[in-house]
Structure 1
């Protein structure tokens, strides 16, 4: 193979190669990996282990999904002086730092594992780096941490001591900037300057409310000395074992469905075959989850939480699958739960359709039940679980509003109305 190949590692094991071809690349698994895992989905539901290489478009969709998007992607190109639109050129530079347990590195590069170090950031330096987002979030390739997309800008850091949280607020934050492959443990999201009023506290509020109804990434609010709010989120794709940070493998549902990042939203005007769908995610759970029924009920909970909390930006990259060592999958904890309907009230279209409906203000109980029964769940079970999750979210909204009263004043009443709209009326 050509030295231009990119090597693909999973949990530090070489699993395959990206072979450049005209206008793209083709991904193929290593023969030894095929011999051990033929037919498995250890890397991706969209890339089952097989001998034959995958075509250019299938390869592009999945591997471009490892990269950031929009402003962060453009900043990457500027930083490295990359004029081409090739995702391969970007992966060659930053593929060593991806979400989950995947690494993409040039042939001949040393796969150094998690051996890097960290630079401690005092509050002044942390504030400076957060304020520099997104135009200059790093100062050298060794400090590059840009693999995560999402609703707002973020900085990935390593906690140097346990993050102390009380009443929804971080009391002490001691973090470092990771260098040369050192693992990160937390994501910091500062309030955007001059726009999206209350976004940071609103997301903190929504994450707490969601946690009462379904497994949700741990988060809390931190304030810099000047009062700037920062949302601190513990990464669910990293876990601590015997003092070492271990990467857990995950892929977002756009990747798992075989879609490129540009296809993460359902088309607004009319449905397309290429649209991401909850039914498609449910089909993956049916095929690969250890307990498909339980996982579909979790998907119902996650979908309902996002509807109630007004998260119109819940697209296919805001749902993810976690892969276990045996090749099974389960839904990741919920993340990026933003009460967008009150923050951006002019946006009423959902990231994905519910029972064929794209408008958030036109979804009722029967549509939620219709969507979930299309996955193969019984209407009786769906109705029961829907009432349970609505009751859980109602308690979560109350609890979150006590922790974050300003955000509660902005979002709680609307969430309560949506709970009533989706309820059975039998309370």
Structure 2
């Protein structure tokens, strides 16, 4: 196998080198004197060389979850789809977070250029949406317990500059993600819009979203939380990683049921961060929200951390949130991806589960406990039905909203009421 070496840039600063040797094995080493954000919490800054087993969870976490999407990218570039180094050689200039990969000879160009934003018409965006949409057989039944198992979420990223949607050329950072929804689940993108707007209304830190039509093609538009705007208007990358990457777990193990992270693993990790108390409270708030709205897909890859210098770590805004209650199979058989105190069935989390949950992490060390968890759950269970109704009323004119409301609102209200009874 051909050797390949890529320089690794984090938030605009060269940080180290990623390389593949002649045997196809992957390695990474930080530059001597680098003091920025770490590539991952699982890969702390040090003088050692990291090898394949430690690196693959982070690298595969940068690639599309869908094997179909990875194969499509590989076909475009004439490369092997499951080789993360060769894939990052082709698509590594706009990864999640602040990390970029390029060959040594391109480093100066990548650092020097600002990139180009090329405006797109609504028609051009509509064509891109149509090209990845194939939901002719969308149904309220649903075929899988967890809808991301097949990685069927079609998406692409654009930049918003001076009020215009733009294709990002070269190293220009994207600012928004356009999503069509999960294939096979009717109005899933609209479902996600409603749930994320409800979360925001209920006080849960959530990525900003919009839902609009480009000609006759609907799109869920998600503002990237890993981008900031400089004083001069320049778009800057902020480094981030999901919880599978932070815990060194491969993406295919993102569900607890598949051997992936459980809530206790997340709480233990967050307990080691400088802002441990706040991070644990925010994670608990997000986990409880997903439980109350029937979020069957709230696995470890759907929670992320923002990484800064000097060990600063903050739980990122919530994203990829949608309710399984709209779909017959998920309403009957769906489960929460991360159990709360060992309970992953909707409508079954009561005082006992919250007590076990509070004991599963270092809550007491930071002056928290079961009373705090109970108060958070009760507040959300009372607030969600109100916020949900307001969102449905506010956006009632969107096509499909009335149909979605009939299917989604009653079971969410029922789950919230049942939870209050159990507490």
* Corresponding position: 1:355 with 2:341: yes
* CA RMSD, 1 decimal: 2.4
1:184-214 residue CA offsets vs partner (Å, 9 max, x unmatched): 1111112567x31111211111011111231
Q: How does 1:95-134 map to 2 (within 5 A)?
A: 95-110=92-107, 111-113=109-111, 115-133=114-132
* Corresponding position: 1:209 with 2:198: yes
* Corresponding position: 1:415 with 2:412: yes
1:116-145 residue CA offsets vs partner (Å, 9 max, x unmatched): 11221111111001111279xxxxxxxxxx
**TM-score, length of structure 2 as denominator length:** 0.85
Structure 1 segments unaligned to the other structure (5+ residues): 136-148, 163-173
* Helix, strand or coil at the partner of 1:8: strand
* Helix, strand or coil at the partner of 2:106: coil
> How many angstroms does 1:353 deviate by?
2.9
Distance 1:261 1:61 in 2: 7
Distance 2:156 2:3 in 1: 33
Q: How does 1:25-424 map to 2 (within 5 A)?
A: 25-33=26-34, 36=35, 42-70=38-66, 71-83=68-80, 85-110=82-107, 111-113=109-111, 115-133=114-132, 152-162=153-163, 174-191=164-181, 195-211=184-200, 212-226=202-216, 228-242=217-231, 243-267=233-257, 272=259, 275-288=260-273, 290-343=274-327, 345-346=329-330, 348-360=334-346, 362-377=348-363, 378-405=369-396, 406=402, 407-423=404-420
> How many angstroms does 1:418 deviate by?
1.2
> How many angstroms does 1:256 deviate by?
0.4
Distance 1:361 1:151 in 2: 28
* Helix, strand or coil at the partner of 2:414: helix
User: Which residue is 1:168 aligned to?
Assistant: none
> How many angstroms does 1:251 deviate by?
0.5
Structure 2 segments unaligned to the other structure (5+ residues): 135-149, 364-368, 397-401
8 Å contact kept, 2:94–2:100:
yes
* Helix, strand or coil at the partner of 1:223: strand
Residues 344 and 178 of structure 1, relative CA distance in 2, 3 Å threshold = farther
User: Which residue is 2:6 aligned to?
Assistant: 6
8 Å contact kept, 1:3–1:107:
no
Residues 365 and 187 of structure 1, relative CA distance in 2, 3 Å threshold = farther
Residues 150 and 285 of structure 1, relative CA distance in 2, 3 Å threshold = farther
> How many angstroms does 1:361 deviate by?
5.7
8 Å contact kept, 2:42–2:246:
yes
Aligned residues: 388
1:28-64 residue CA offsets vs partner (Å, 9 max, x unmatched): 111222xx47xxx633110111111122111111112
